[in-house]
Each structure stands twice: as C-alpha cells, then as structure tokens.
Chains A and B, each alone.
Chain A
Amino acid sequence: QVQLQQSGPGLVKPSQTLSLTCAISGESVSSKTAAWNWIRHSPSRGLEWLGRTYYRSKWSNNYAVSLKGRITINPDTSKNQFSLQLNSVTPEDTAVYYCAWEGSDALNVWGQGTMVTVSS
C-alpha cells in the first residue's frame, strides 16, 4: 500500500524558492508503472496540477504550462522520494500543496498536504 509523507516549510518570502519533499513508502520512485505528481489547492483557483516526474527507460517530466520556467520536480532514488521546487514565488502561489502517486492514469494516493504561505 502506497503512502506519501510530505515535508517542507510553511512560510516562504516573496521572490524566494518554495521547496517541498514527498517521501514514498510501499512503492519505488523508479517504478516503471508509476508517476509522481504535485498538485495545489487554493480557494480562488480550486485544484491545479503542477507537474510530475516518472521513470520508464529514463527520467522524464511534465510541467503545467503556466509554471514552466519556474518549476522543477526531481526524484531522489537514494531516499525513495521526490521534490518540488518553485522559484520566484509571489502571494499568488499561496496554497495547500499535495504530492500524489499516479497509477493507471489516475491520482490514486495523495500526501497529507502542506499549507504554504508566501509573505514577507
């Protein structure tokens, strides 16, 4: 049974980098049938998919068009986890951030969520 545990700061200053980590248990981050996603939720925008990383014969990523250039999602095979980095944050990036395991083209298991506030 896949479980995800998120960690990272809840407060980030404007123009700085938001960094979150998602530790995986019950599956390998290198699984060739899984993908590892980040999603956020805010009252004004609802759910917003941010991007994902996955391994088939090599590592690949997909990112939301609206965030391209600011977002990086990386796997860490030594710790069986993956991370999110979002650069140059503004108050618009304030949201609850979730990681999620994707299998069979659906987000089957979600992390517990991390409330991130962008404020000086």
Chain B
Amino acid sequence: QSVLTQPPSASGTPGQRVTISCSGSSSNIGRNTVNWYQHLPGTAPKLLIYNNNQRPSGVPDRFSASKSGTSASLAISGLQSEDEADYYCSAWDGSLNGYVFGTGTKVTVL
C-alpha cells in the first residue's frame, strides 16, 4: 500500500507543460529528500530527479521538480511523445525505516 499520493493520470498536447503532485507526511517527504522515477512499459524504472530537484546526467532540463513541506511536484515542460510513461515519486520513510513510493501517475501525450 503506497504511502505517497499522486494523481492517477495527467495529460497534455506536445509542447505543453504538465505537473504531477506527490503528497506525503512528516515521516517521509517532510524530513527526507524526494526522488522521481520514470517507468516506460517493459523497461526498468529510470531515476529522473534526485535530492528534490537534481537531474542526473543525461536527463533533459525539460524535467524539473520541487519540494515544499510534506509535498513535492514534478513538471515536464515542452511535452514530447517519448514522455508518455508512468512517473513515481519516492522518499525514505523514517517511521517505516524503508523507501516508500507514490501511487504513480500515467502521463499521456494527446
């Protein structure tokens, strides 16, 4: 059972901006850094954002993220067809002593 809450879906036309929210609590997002993962069907998830807002090498700057209090958000600007995927937020939970993932958001490019 996921501890972090995300909207089940988001969509936009090519070139638009899409944002995904991630709501947690004081035991996870409130005290630890947030990471975001992109999951394309049939492939392994890929780290998209780490440490709240940092992009690993090779991730386009169209992807950005922020964190405030017990919530976080991911933004995709200049939406492209290859951005169609499931997106998950994640954080360490100090009460559970483990990582927790969000419920996942399916992004569709119309």
Contact = CB atoms under 8 A, between A and B. Distances in A.
Given A104-B51, A107-B35, A107-B37, A48 B98 contact: no
B98 A47 contact: no
Nearest to B6: A46
Interface string A80-120: 00000000000000000010000011111011110000000
Given A65-B98, A105-B50, A47 B88 contact: yes
B46 A49 contact: no
Interface in B27-81: 32-33, 35, 37, 39, 43-47, 50-51, 56
Contacts of A65: 96, 98
Contacts, number: 66
A62 interface: yes
Contacts of A104: 50-51
A62 B39 contact: no
Given A46-B88, A46-B103, A106 B98 contact: no
A113 B103 contact: no
B104 A107 contact: no
B44 A111 contact: yes
Contacts of B103: 46
Contacts of A98: 44-45
